[in-house]
């Protein structure tokens, strides 16, 4: 009977008498035969346990995410047996496979916006598709950081490797192109529904797209939101102390010499 990954891990810790029953990389060779599954598995969706710590034959429920952003639960065995002989990408995701249907031969046309300029993955640019900043607090954050750091406020997008919804670009709240750091300001919103539940999964997917493009992400989290990533900052609001913490975080990420080169005197 499959069990949730956290319960399975605790049971392995107990039975083996160690907090690390399987070291990272233990089952890497077995999983390299399934590159699509390696791409669909994310440790942050599975209690921080990496795929190479999980035996391919383990009877455990894991949370996967396909390239289209669909989340689904399956055991390693179900995932390894799902594609059959076709090896088409959609076959690894139940929702994509169902939408593709037998008439299309498993292929589904993706409508991707063609307005993204032809740039290298990871390049920052001014997107004509990016929404205008709608939050007063985001504007305050932008203005406060511009007082302390030199960066081009016209940059509002980063080119990514694979489509993020209908674009091959993502739109961070602040784009520090020379430092290759994206800054997001997250709150729960007026009704307490922003950046929680399903929307949190979207945030995580966006962060992964940026990191895959060679960027780092700093999320400023308010309204009792917890950290999503290793560099996030939890704060009560936009204050002078927040900017000090943010600059310290940038120094940790990119080094003091580089950050100081862009400091306004």
pLDDT tens sequence across 8-58: 999 999 999 999 999 999 999 888 877 888 888 999 999 999 999 999 889
Q: How far apart are CA 210 and CA 219, in angstroms?
A: 13
Q: How confident is the model at residue 70 (pLDDT cuts 50, 70, 90)?
A: confident
Q: Of 69, 66, 34, 67, whose CA–CA distance to 51 is shortest?
A: 34
In this structure, what DSSP letter does residue 32 have? T
Supply the DSSP string of 117-164, one letter for each residue: -S--TT-EE--SSSPPP--HHHHHHHHHHHHHB---TT--EEEEEEEE
- Other residues' Cβ atoms within 10 Å of the Cβ of residue 220: 25
pLDDT of residue 115 exceeding 50: yes
Rounded to 10 deg, the angle between the 240-254 and 136-148 helix axes is 60
CA-CA distances (angstroms) from residue 137 to 14, 129, 223? 47, 22, 13
Q: Which pLDDT score, from 0 to 100, does residue 83 have?
A: 52
Give the residue carrying structure tokens 């539940």. Answer: 197
- pTM for the full model? 0.62
CA contacts within 13 A on the Cβ side of 79: 29
In this structure, what DSSP letter does residue 138 have? H
Residue 223 makes CB contacts below 8 A (sequence gap 6+) with: 187, 188, 189, 192
Q: Quick check: 44 and 67 in contact, CB under 8 A?
A: no
Q: How far apart are CA 227 and CA 232, in angstroms?
A: 6
Does residue 121 sit in helix, strand or coil? coil
Give all domains of the chain, ordered by start, each with its CATH number.
3-102 (no CATH), 133-261 (3.40.960)
pLDDT tens sequence across 201-245: 899 999 999 999 999 999 999 988 899 999 999 998 899 999 999
Q: Which pLDDT score, from 0 to 100, does residue 133 have?
A: 78
């Amino acid at each position: 009977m499959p069990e949730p990954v956290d319960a399975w891990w605790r049971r392995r810790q107990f039975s083996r008498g160690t907090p690390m029953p399987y070291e990272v990389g233990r089952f890497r060779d077995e999983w390299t035969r399934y590159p699509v599954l390696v791409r669909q598995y994310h440790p942050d969706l599975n209690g921080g346990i990496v795929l190479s710590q999980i035996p391919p034959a383990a009877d455990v429920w894991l949370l996967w995410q396909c390239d289209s952003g669909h989340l689904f639960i399956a055991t390693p065995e179900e995932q390894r047996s799902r594609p059959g002989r076709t090896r088409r990408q959609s076959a690894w995701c139940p929702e994509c496979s169902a939408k593709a249907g037998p008439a299309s031969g498993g292929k589904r046309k993706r409508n991707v916006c063609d307005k993204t300029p032809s740039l290298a993955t990871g390049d920052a640019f001014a997107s004509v598709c990016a929404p205008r900043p709608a939050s007063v607090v985001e504007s305050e954050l932008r203005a406060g950081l511009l007082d302390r750091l030199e960066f081009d406020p016209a940059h509002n997008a980063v080119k990514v490797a694979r489509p993020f919804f209908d674009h091959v670009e993502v739109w961070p709240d602040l784009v520090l192109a020379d430092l290759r750091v994206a800054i997001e300001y997250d709150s729960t919103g007026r009704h307490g529904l922003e950046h929680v539940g399903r929307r949190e999964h979207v945030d995580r997917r966006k962060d992964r797209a940026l990191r895959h493009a060679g960027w780092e992400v700093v999320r400023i989290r308010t309204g009792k939101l917890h950290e999503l990533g290793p560099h996030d900052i939890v704060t009560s609001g936009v204050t002078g102390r927040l900017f000090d913490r943010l600059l310290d975080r940038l120094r940790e990420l990119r080094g003091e010499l580089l950050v100081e080169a862009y400091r306004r005197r």
